[in-house]
Amino acid sequence: MMPRSFARAAVLPLLLGGCAYQRYQSDFGAAGVEDRQFLTLFWIFLGVCAFMYALVIIFLGAGIARSRRAAEANVVETGRHHRSHPLMRSTLIGWAALIGVGLAGLAIASFFTDRSMAAAAANEKLSVTVTGNQWWWDIVYNSGDASKTLRTANELHLPVGVPTRIILNSADVIHSFWVPSLAGKQDLIPGRENDIIIVPKTIGMFRGQCAEFCGVQHAHMSLVVVVESYPDFVKWWSHQLQPAPMPTTPLAMAGYKYVTTGPCSACHSIGGTTAGGLVAPDLTHLASRRSLAAGTLPMNEGNLYGWVEDPQSLKPGVHMPTIGLEPDQLHAVVAYLETLK
Amino acid sequence: MTDVRADTFDLGRRENERERVEAENRRLEQERKKIARDGPKLKGEKLASRLDATWRRPPGIIGWLASVDHKEIGRRYMLTALAFLVLGGVLALAMRVQLAQPDSALISAERYNQLFTMHGSTMMFLFAVPVMEGVAVYIIPLMVGTRSTAFPRLNAFSYFMYLFGGLMLWIAFALNIAPDMGWFAYTPLSGPQFSPGKRADVWAQMITFTEVSALAAAVVLVCTILKARAPGMTLSRMPLFAWAMLVQAVMIIFAMPAVALCSSMLISDRTLGTNFYNAAEHGDALLWQHLFWFFGHPEVYIIFIPATGFVSEITATFCRRPIFAHAVVVLALISTGILAFGLWVHHMFATGLPRVGYSFFTAASMSVSIPTGLQIFCWLATIWDGRPRFQVPMLYVVGFIITFVIGGLSGVMVAAVPLDLQLHDTYFVVAHFHYVLIGGAVFPLLAAFTYWYPKITGRMMDETLGKISFWLVFLGFHLTFFPMHWSGMLGMPRRVYTYPAGLGLEVPNLLSTVGAFVLAAALGLFVINGLISLYRGVIAGPNPWGAPTLEWLTSSPPPVYNFAHIPVVESDTPLWDSADGEYPVVTGLRVDQKETLLTTVVAAAPDTREPIPQASLWPFISAIAVGIVFVASIFSPWAVAVGVIPCFIALTAWFWPKELKRHPEPVIT
């Protein structure tokens, strides 16, 4: 029983490889134009490399098999009169030519993939600025109309089929923006502005993760990407533009007062309130997001309690301090945060 | 006024002077005739004991510290590097234990970041480069048929610098001030703002130690290879390992200044408040990456090229014929060495540099596989045309070809920008560079240890244990690193202390962890074999493998003076081509002083006799003085200004000539 289930556990992912089960965060996700182009090029490279590898192994194996027969002759072929097989020199030239042609082919394939990625990205329809911070993502949806500019964090919504330019900055160290199922990575470098254009092709939820080591909690700097239909996306945007609703229950009201006047507001901002800190994630629609602390925890009441009470034990080293809330304050703050849908 | 005949006066003085010089020359001529030299009159046992008395270092701990014998220094290099391999390996095991399961909390994020930083830094700077230099410092003078390296005191100094740098890093680790920002220490994460404390400084100064050490060893090797070859060993007859080390040492000389510059600028940002890398003050964070990788990419070839030298020597010996197309292999080595300096940007494809530049560096990165591919062909052709005996060193060569080629091909993949943007900084790249560095350099190194073990110790390593550990190394390696290609493709970035369940990463990570333990056990077995064989191994003659190169001409282990007579070389496989009786030699070198023969660079025609310095404590004391400066400058920039004084004193004493009077044949004593 035991070995069989183990075997299944080991073999299934091998067989599925890049199939549905690993769409969430995987080079095999094929949910964006860039990743699809990557995969095509990857299989071409793999094919060519496997062919070259097979040649090497066949030559090696044949050489070993051939030489074993002659092994009993312990004769040395010395420097002055050693002989090679007469064809060996021309084979060497052929081998060099084969490598040259193979590499040239791969380089050209790589070049054209690169250019077609650039071409697919040429007509962007949407622009989002993502700023890397130790260890979370600040996200701003740019719009010509200032009232439609949206600031959020750690959850990126993209309309399917729409080329979106993501402008990349960093507020501290170098990070790298990487949603493998959609596209390759691009660094966020302080003092520089990079960009990457993503054309999502599949509706669904994907996970991205910082790919450049950025300090203690590099492992917990991830990002939820939601690809949705254009109407859903517009609905989401206009909802997110709404200011936070005033709480209706007394408990949430107490939380509202604590959050907007207490230490939280020094770093966080909540639309429609006096909380206006800019160094930590925007909380206006916190409870509508799917994760907490840049993908560290799924969003639910229990995790909100745990996170607000003691972030340092859940994500050690995070810049959010453990404040030491009294139990009634904690209840109130969580009750308020849960209203931020 | 008296008419002074100045001209006659001068003439008289000149006459006197001439007579005096002539008398002196006659006296020196007489004395010169009395000097004992090796030759027909002085040979065999008598010569050996004379040479031994001249070359032997003083006994005791002082003599040990003062030794300038390249064999002793090479042994120390190799043993120290192996100790660091064990330490770095233990860190790797700790990381694999942490990553065996998702969301594991065995090791904290902070500790894990130190572990991978220490692992990378130790393996790159304290194991891989020094161990290659250690083997070369031991083997190269024997292989080119000389009695000592050039600049033997510099050689001793280089070892102590390396040792002190390694100790500093590991003592810092024990004191919990080890670096934690990755072995390439990207700014601004390693800068003053984001790495307060001393961790990054410790890393930067460890780099400085190993830079100085590697540069010194490189100068020693270049000069030894170019000037101290046995007469007749023209460049076209030079063994491929010597070629590989020549190319590697020249690469070190070009690559190390870049990292010296960038790490000094980092130290200066951190301690003096400069802003080289601070974008907020018009510095540039990317400057670090350009300078570091201008060193860091050649560094990979600095590790790999000596390994190709091992492979060439071993393949020739065990296939019983010279390497096919010797000239092609040499040209491949040289072109690899040159191309290696034109690819550094492929480490920076995700940083948003101009696309045209990317295309250039893609093509350059791919082109480096042409010379490497040709070398592989030459080894395969040698196996095909030869009569291979599959003893342990040759098994490792076969394992090397099977493994390294995978790493080379995955390297072609990551050279393409569109592929690299997905694969960069993931476990795919971790798999790639371990295939290249372990498959490409450690497998040949294990082959080289087994191959030269009898030369160094006088005994053979056990063949059965060797074969068992080879198969375990081979299987353990592939079990560890092959699944990493897969976990990288499934989206696992490198340098994460944990990963969430449900991404499909559980199985590949568990396989890697199991493999890591198999690999560690296999390497442990290799070391045990080395220790047991020290006492129980079969006694090896001078040439147990029937090899063609000069190091196998002398006894195993070699005498302190290497060769009683400097050999003369008449072909590229001298030991195979000499008749069974006497080997042709040069005679006439002094035996009362340490002396060796220098030859011309290309044709290796006898050029001059070179005195070899005596053992001296000053290289050790200089290394201590320089080491104090480096360590103290972590704490205060003034240490550099003050510390220059003891360094100056030590170096002056090092070079102080003890004997100024005219001597029939001047020597440094």
Distance (Å, rounded) from C-alpha B204 to C-alpha B538?
A: 45
**Which of A66-75, A145-154, B298-307, B641-650 comes out lowest in average pLDDT?**
A66-75
Q: Which helix (H) or strand (E) holds A139?
A: strand A136-141
Residues of A in contact with B363 (CB under 8 A): 107
Q: Does B271 touch chain A (CB under 8 A)?
A: no
Among residues B290, B351, B429, which one has the least CA distance to residue A196? Answer: B351
Instruction: Tell me the C-alpha distance between A209 and A217, whole Å.
Output: 12
Best mutation site among B391, B417, B422 for testing chain A: the one with the most A CBs within 10 Å?
A: B422
CB pairs under 8 A between A and B: 287
d(CA B66, CA B88): 29
The pLDDT score that the predictor gives to residue A126 is 92
In this prediction, residue A61 carries a pLDDT of: 94
d(CA B436, CA B442): 9
In tens, the pLDDT along B173-191 reads 999 999 999 999 999 999 9
pLDDT score at A184: 93
Per-residue pLDDT of B54-73, as tens digits, reads 999 999 999 999 999 999 99
pLDDT of amino acid B13: 66
Within the 190-219 window of chain B, which residues sit less than 8 Å (CB to CB) from chain A? 193-194
Does residue B434 surpass a pLDDT of 60? yes
- Closest partner residue to A78 (CB to CB) among B110, B194, B573 is B573
**Cβ atoms < 10 Å from Cβ of B580:** 5
CB contact under 8 A, B495 and A42: no
**Which residues of chain A does B386 touch, with a Cβ-Cβ cutoff of 8 Å?**
67, 77
Residues 503-532 of B with CB under 8 A from A: 503-504, 507, 511
Work out the average pLDDT over B430-439.
Answer: 96
Query: Mean pLDDT throughout B645-651?
Result: 94
Q: Nearest Cα to A99, choosing from B577, B377, B31?
A: B377
- The single-letter DSSP state of residue B277 is T
Residue B31, CB half-sphere, CA atoms under 13 Å: how many? 12
User: Is the predicted ipTM greater than 0.85, yes or no?
Assistant: yes
> Cα-atom radius of gyration of chain B, to the nearest Å?
27
Between these two residues, B123 and B4, which has the higher pLDDT value? B123
pTM: 0.92
- Rounded (10°) CA dihedral B634, B635, B638, B640: -30
Using one digit for the tens of pLDDT, what is the confidence trace for B135-160? 999 999 999 999 999 999 999 999 99
Quote the distance between the C-alpha of residue B509 and its chain's center: 33
Alpha-carbon span B545 to A10, nearest angstrom: 44
- Any A CB within 8 A of B478 CB: no
Residue B664 is predicted with a pLDDT of 63
**pLDDT at residue B7, rounded to an integer:** 57
With beta carbons less than 8 A apart as the criterion, state whether B356 and A196 touch: no
Residues of chain A positioned with their CB less than 8 A from the CB of B350: 176, 184-187, 211-212
The amino acid present at B319, given as its one-letter code, is C
Q: Which residue of A has its CA nearest to B319?
A: A76
Q: Nearest chain B Cα to A45, which residue?
A: B413
The DSSP secondary-structure symbol of B461 reads P
Separation in Å, CA of B376 to nearest CA in chain A: 8
Residues on chain B touching A168 (C-beta within 8 angstroms): 352
For residue A189, the chain B residues in CB contact (below 8 A) are 279, 285-286, 351-352
* B402 touching A (Cβ < 8 Å): yes
Judged by a CB distance cut-off of 8 A, whether residue B440 touches chain A is no
Shortest distance between the Cα of A310 and any Cα of chain B, in A, equals 17
Residue B358: band (very low, low, confident or very high) from pLDDT cuts 50, 70, 90: confident
Residue B288 has a pLDDT of 95
Judged by CB atoms closer than 8 Å, whether chains meet at B369 and A219 is answered as no
Which mean pLDDT values do the consecutive 10-residue runs of chain A (341 residues) have?
40 42 81 92 95 96 78 59 75 93 93 84 85 95 90 95 94 95 94 92 94 95 95 95 92 93 91 90 94 91 93 93 91 93 87
Q: List the structure tokens of B353.
A: 């540099």
Q: What is the mean pLDDT of residues B317-346?
A: 93
CA-wise closest residue to B419 among B484, B345, B349:
B349
- The per-residue pLDDT for B45 is 87
* % residues pLDDT > 70 (chain B): 96
Q: Which residue has the tokens 């040792």?
A: B163
